[in-house]
Amino acid sequence: MVSKGIYGIPEKSSVEDKDKEHRRRDKFSSTLRLAILIHPFGRFGGAERLAILHAIGLTEAGVDVTMYTDTTLMHREWLSLLGSKVPVRNLPYGLKGRDVIRDLAPFDRILIHHHIEPLMARRIVGRYGDKTYWYTGEVLRAVWEDKITGEDYRQFSPTVFRTASHFYGKRSRIALWGPMYNLTVSMLRVLDMATVRRFKGVIANSEYMADLVRRVYRYPGPMSVAYPAPSLPASMFNPDYGNGDYVLAVGALLPNKNHHDLLKAMSLLKEPPTLRIVGDGQERRNLKDQAQRLGVETEFDLFVTGEELCRLYEGSLFVVVPSLSEPFGMTALEGALAGKPSVVTELGGTKEFVLDQETGFVVNPRRTKSFASALELLLYDRDLRKSMGERARERALTSFTPESSALALSRALTP
């Protein structure tokens, strides 16, 4: 069960913190009215949790927030955290929702948080481009994947067909098959480009993501960065520095998460520890077969609660993020709250949290030998794991909190 006490914004415990809160409230003394819009793309995940945390944090800062979403796909217990302070209204898809678009007129700012259905996004920015901002942790990968990684997005996303059906009906799946797919992607690419270039401002979840938006969209407007906050709060963790029984990876079992190269690197270790992978996906059978061939003992935890995930972090030696592309990624940050260092990919924004050779190691996961060397350094040196884990947790608690994320977001919305 999710409780407000666990997942709410931390209570202020010092005079200094209270003074900061008052200063933030003074900034919004005119009561800025903000609409936060998000559509879950096939599932409720980190983007949706962060949108709710931002809504709570901005409300605590004195902003008048209303959230628009598809409530049928949102986690009820997470939505309940908003209580009576943040009204939640339904956000339809496509050409529906004329009344909703009219309802957005009185708001001072509109924030598209991560993603909403492309036609609705275009309609909103067409009418309210002078006050609509985009908080992004990802480009619309369904249409830009080949430009970013050279791959077909359909092999990465297990929800792409389900999302299309939910947005536009079952017949829309035809547009994702055969030659129709390329035509659909081309049309959506033009639509997405036109939408993004009309935003009043873009707020990225990392410097890497900001650069990617500039490169993909040639976005000419103001760009800010507001790092995300973990959805597992620090109060849930009991840090255990230096100790552990296994190496931990957390993430969907999809090709771009690159667990295959992690297994290769671990197979080069003299005495590979157990690898535990939290997540599920289309690569599970292939990964099990590969682990058996390479002789790497691997355990899969398909579904875990937040409480169970905290305990898994605490029981690990360190965590690994081997992704081929990671806009920011929560695994290293959550691992740090448990007092664990990380070995993370250099391909993306995770390295903006993990400081190489200070709170962990940053590697190219495609270079298997150097990847294995980094794993080996942490595996056989408890003192190194302890010191790096302590610094990692301090960094997480200092600069990557729900409050600091909401504050950065509020500053970007009120330049």
The end-to-end CA distance of the chain, in Å, is 39
Of 317, 360, 369, nearest to 342 by C-alpha is: 360
Mean pLDDT taken over the chain: 86
Q: DSSP letters along 59-101, please?
A: HHTT-EEEEEE-TTTS-HHHHHTTTTTS-EEE---TT--HHHH
Task: State yes or no: pLDDT of 364 exceeds 50.
Answer: yes
pLDDT digits (tens, 9 = 90+) for 277-287: 999 888 999 99
Confidence tier at 5 by pLDDT (50, 70, 90): very low
Measured at the CA of 142, the angle between CA 322 and CA 135, to 5 degrees, comes to: 80
DSSP-assigned beta bridge partners for residue 111: 36, 133
Q: Which pair of structure tokens corresponds to residue 278?
A: 């939290």
Say yes or no to pLDDT of 411 above 90.
yes
Would you say residue 374 has pLDDT above 50?
Answer: yes
Reading across the β-sheet that carries 64-69, which strands appear in turn? 88-90, 64-69, 33-38, 109-113, 132-136, 201-204, 223-225
Position with higher pLDDT, 277 vs 165: 277
Q: How many CA atoms lie within 13 A of 238 on its CB side?
A: 5
pTM: 0.84
- Using the predicted structure, report yes or no on whether residue 163 has a pLDDT greater than 70: no
What pLDDT, on the 0 to 100 scale, is given for residue 101? Answer: 93
363: which residues sit within 8 A by CB, 6+ positions away? Answer: 343, 344, 345, 346, 370, 371, 374
The pLDDT tens digits of the residues spanning 234-275 come to: 999 999 999 999 999 999 888 889 999 999 999 999 999 999
The answer to whether residues 159 and 42 touch, using CB atoms and an 8 Å cutoff, is yes
Neighbour tally for 126: CB within 10 Å: 13
CATH class of 234-399: alpha beta
Q: Give ranges for CATH 3.40.50.2000 in the chain.
A: 4-229+401-413, 234-399
At the fourth CATH level, the homologous superfamily of domain 4-229+401-413 is Glycogen Phosphorylase B; (3.40.50.2000)
Residue-wise pLDDT tens digits, 302-351? 889 999 999 999 999 999 999 988 899 899 999 999 999 999 999 999 99
Q: Give the per-residue pLDDT at 281.
A: 83
Element spanning 167, H or E: helix 160-168
